[in-house]
């Protein structure tokens, strides 16, 4: 009984002492619970599809932040990891008959190898030189995809003979959402550890870090590999959910889209890019469609789709610009600064309306 009581009281103490004491962590907990319980509220296939894709892209955005946000190694070709894993998972599944639970990890390993291929030649580059160098790799792979259409499907991609992520839409939902929560927590713990501290230091002043005796080359290469691993998992989940792998998973638009999500949510936070996707992706998918649906009554279907696409892009751009103008550090960072304070002595986060630190009882400014 004592052992059972310890297993019960330990999570409760963690919940009360570490999570519920801060508004940001409480909000994350509530969002996670809402997502996990959403199929109880509604099982509308279209809504579940949007949330599944949002969770997959949230993993992808957080993986970009792990590399570019924390180490400062700006990657304009992050879709490379996503596309490599998608094609690897699909090819293994279709040609060898392996199940998705086996092909997705192997696709992630292929993305790690892609991280090594990109990281090793780019280690000596910085700033814009590094950004444009990473931009070249997905274009090179895109050319390879077009050059061997019998294997990759060419411009049409691969869309036949692929196993689904799970047996039903709800089952796929309960694969994607817990994966997002678990992988997001793992990435956050990485950045909150000694490795994350070194990543931060490399971003701020790599020369000083190297002078202190730390092998910055090894840690930058580690960042490329870890980012590729998580982006690869997202790519494998995406390929098996949509049951296709196409050149769109390697296009530059996807690489720039993930940067927009990360900047909107707040870089160097992990949860910021994930929140950016969870907010923006469903919004652009069905909120605007509901609002602008009346256009279909006054125009032809083709013109309606064109107007809808243009309107979605325009409103999306306006939202991002407003956030960058008034919240230059991102939405979640702005909200955190409004609701939390950092203790000047122990550097722990506290609720903004507290007068003394919850740990060291120092006066909060």
**Segment-wise mean pLDDT, segments of 10 residues, the chain, 365 residues:** 65 75 89 95 91 96 95 92 96 94 96 92 82 90 92 91 92 96 95 93 91 92 95 97 93 88 91 93 73 49 52 71 84 90 85 85 82
As a whole number of angstroms, the distance between CA 281 and CA 12 comes to 33
Dihedral pair phi/psi, residue 351, rounded to 5°:
-65, 140
User: Residue for token digits 């839409």?
Assistant: 169
Going by C-alpha positions, the residue among 199, 186, 320 that lies closest to residue 256 is: 320
Dihedral pair phi/psi, residue 329, rounded to 5°:
-90, 0
* CB atoms inside a 10 Å sphere around CB 247: 19
Burial 119-149 (b: 16+ CB within 10 A, else e): beebbeeeeeebbebbbebbeebbeebeeee
pLDDT at 232: 97
pLDDT at 295: 46
pLDDT at 75: 92
Fill in the DSSP letter of residue 362.
P
Fill in the DSSP letter of residue 148.
-
pLDDT at 283: 84
DSSP string, 241-260: HHT-B-GGGTSHHHHHHHHH
pLDDT at 7: 63
pLDDT at 308: 56
What length is written for the chain? 365
As a whole number of angstroms, the distance between CA 29 and CA 157 comes to 38
pLDDT at 302: 47
Cα 335 versus chain centre, distance: 20
pLDDT at 288: 60
Q: Is-contact 317 288, C-beta < 8 A? A: no
């Amino acid at each position: 009984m004592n052992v059972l009581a310890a297993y019960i009281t330990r999570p409760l103490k963690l919940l009360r002492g570490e999570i519920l004491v801060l508004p940001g962590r409480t909000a994350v907990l509530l969002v996670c619970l809402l997502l996990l319980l959403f199929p109880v509220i509604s099982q509308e296939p279209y809504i579940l599809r949007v949330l599944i894709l949002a969770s997959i892209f949230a993993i992808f955005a957080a993986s970009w932040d792990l590399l570019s946000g924390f180490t400062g190694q700006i990657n304009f070709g992050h879709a490379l990891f996503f596309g490599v894993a998608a094609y690897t998972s699909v090819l293994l599944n279709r040609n060898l008959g392996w199940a998705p639970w086996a092909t997705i990890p192997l696709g992630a390993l292929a993305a790690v190898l892609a991280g090594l291929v990109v990281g090793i030649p780019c280690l000596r580059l910085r700033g814009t030189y590094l950004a444009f160098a990473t931009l070249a790799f997905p274009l090179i792979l895109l050319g390879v995809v077009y050059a061997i259409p019998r294997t990759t499907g060419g411009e049409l991609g691969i869309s036949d003979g692929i196993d689904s992520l799970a047996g039903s839409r709800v089952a796929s939902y309960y694969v994607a959402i817990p994966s997002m929560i678990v992988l997001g927590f793992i990435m956050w713990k990485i950045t909150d550890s000694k490795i994350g501290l070194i990543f931060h230091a490399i971003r701020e002043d790599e020369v000083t870090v190297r002078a202190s005796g730390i092998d910055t080359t090894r840690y930058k290469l580690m960042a490329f590999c870890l980012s590729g691993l998580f982006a690869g998992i997202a790519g494998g989940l995406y390929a098996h959910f949509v049951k296709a792998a196409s050149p769109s998973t390697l296009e530059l638009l996807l690489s720039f889209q993930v940067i927009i999500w990360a900047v909107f949510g707040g870089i160097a936070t992990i949860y910021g890019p994930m929140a950016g996707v969870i907010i923006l992706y469903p919004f652009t998918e069905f909120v605007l469609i509901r609002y602008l649906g009346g256009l279909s009554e006054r125009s032809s279907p083709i013109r309606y789709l064109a107007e809808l696409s243009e309107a979605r892009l325009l409103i999306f751009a306006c939202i991002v610009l407003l956030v960058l103008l008034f919240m230059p550090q991102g939405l979640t960072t702005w909200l955190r600064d409004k609701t939390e304070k950092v203790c000047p002595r122990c550097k722990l986060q506290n609720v903004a309306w507290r007068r003394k630190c919850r740990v060291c009882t120092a006066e909060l400014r």
